[in-house]
Chain A
């Protein structure tokens, strides 16, 4: 097989990528909008096209537990979830990172109950922001497909050994049919060779994993985790650089669009990026000096790249897709504010929370947000956040 271009549902493309990555174990539990990914993987395994154990667990809590077990014996492991599933597994989600298991997960972002809603926003991922996983956001089908390969490459790097969550917007992305270029299996094999973990559970070289820690040593275990996440940064850059060399598709922690000469920027994360670019292009034609900044890498947070992109701009309009109730604003704005605080040339920041649980944010809405945001920033009206489109 050589490179082919297919029109395919993004979930299917991701599942196909997981099969090409030759995973050993898939733990699966149904939840919308992630389900198509694992359903398609079940098919692939049932057809004998992938030699893997497909473990249809009884809960997401067990899905992540199975992933920990299979990763602990050195097996390449994949799972996928959304929303309530993530909430249920969150206990083990934290443990997976602490125990440094290189699991890859597709996280089809969805709102959290209550009220129950199956539609997209980022409340689920923000709940586990501090779990110690690497978090990457993808924007389209091709990025989703590619992400599986570099995610394993990064996760399994001996310097990193961390789980990676690929965040993709539920429905908006998971259920979209898009053209996706599939890479050749030989290329994939070269890019992510069979992986050998240093410490695995095996009777020939017994080890103890998950020991209990007294206060005298807990701090040291946490610093070891922090170092792991921070040190993954150059590895991520290298993985992307190599992927770019092989496929011509290049990724950066912070993606920018018409930022160089921009006076102000809109900042997004996830699939809003594409609409933001279209609207920015339109506004440019009308004379607005606007640029778009898209955060691809959420953890480890790309402080330097962000600063490089936005210091010296007048205003930033940050769009969040989650609320931190009673807090200082959406999680993305919060991060950006603290990254820029006290830096010379820091722009003033206006924060919008929009598109909660799949509420449509049209091009017109984007336009309104940008123009209104600019006005607010210019008049120093930058406290808190604006819940865009709220009635009453």
Chain B
């Protein structure tokens, strides 16, 4: 886990400022960018994974029963999954609502 950016001392940096902890950007949760969130109607879902395939934020995960749902920690609410779902079982719902 990388320290917050404003707490790193200069001698804690790797030579050349190389980052050795790969994929540590998961520390940064982009879910707060969202105004609408995707909600899946599990009964209609055909478990095809198209939503997963097209999500630019790699935040759709497959649940045990085979359904796909968005990890709201990262989902930016772009609405692509809802638009591309072949059976139209994803609805974008306003967070405030």
Contact = CB atoms under 8 A, between A and B. Distances in A.
Whether chain A touches chain B in the assembled complex (some CB pair under 8 Å):
yes
B9 to A, nearest CB: 7
A221 B17 contact: yes
Given A198-B15, A224-B17, A217 B5 contact: yes
Given A214-B5, A217-B5, A207 B18 contact: yes
A207 B16 CA distance: 12
Interface in B11-54: 11, 13-20, 22
B18 A208 contact: yes
B20 A207 contact: yes
A224 B18 contact: no
A49 to B, nearest CB: 33
B8 interface: yes
Interface string A97-130: 0111100000000000000000000000000000
A209 interface: yes
A219 B10 CA distance: 8
Given A214-B5, A216-B5, A224-B11, A207 B22 contact: yes
B6 interface: yes
Contact of B10 (A99, A209, A213, A224): A224
A228 interface: yes
Contacts of A220: 8-10, 13
A100 B16 CA distance: 5
A228 B19 CA distance: 18
Nearest to B5: A216
A206 B15 CA distance: 16
Contacts of B13: 220-221, 224
Contact of A217 (B8, B11, B14): B8
Contacts of A214: 5
A224 B11 CA distance: 6
A199 B17 contact: no
B5 to A, nearest CB: 5
A232 B46 CA distance: 63
Interface residues of B, number: 15
Contacts of B20: 199, 207
A211 interface: yes
B16 A223 contact: no
Contacts of A101: 16
Contacts of A213: 17
Nearest to B25: A208
A207 B11 CA distance: 18
A77 to B, nearest CB: 15
Contacts of A161: 15-16
Contacts of B16: 98-101, 161, 199, 209
A224 B17 CA distance: 8
A46 interface: no
Interface in A149-187: 161
Interface in B52-76: none
A227 interface: yes
B48 to A, nearest CB: 32
A101 B16 CA distance: 8
Contacts of A209: 16, 18-19
A123 B58 CA distance: 51
Interface string A212-237: 01101101110110011000000000
B18 to A, nearest CB: 5
A161 to B, nearest CB: 5
Q: Which 8 A-B pairs have the closest CB atoms?
A: A100-B16, A220-B10, A223-B10, A208-B19, A216-B6, A199-B18, A216-B5, A99-B16
Interface of B: 5-6, 8-11, 13-20, 22
14 contacts: A98-B17, A161-B16, A199-B15, A207-B22, A208-B22, A209-B16, A209-B19, A213-B17, A217-B5, A220-B13, A221-B13, A223-B10, A224-B15, A227-B10
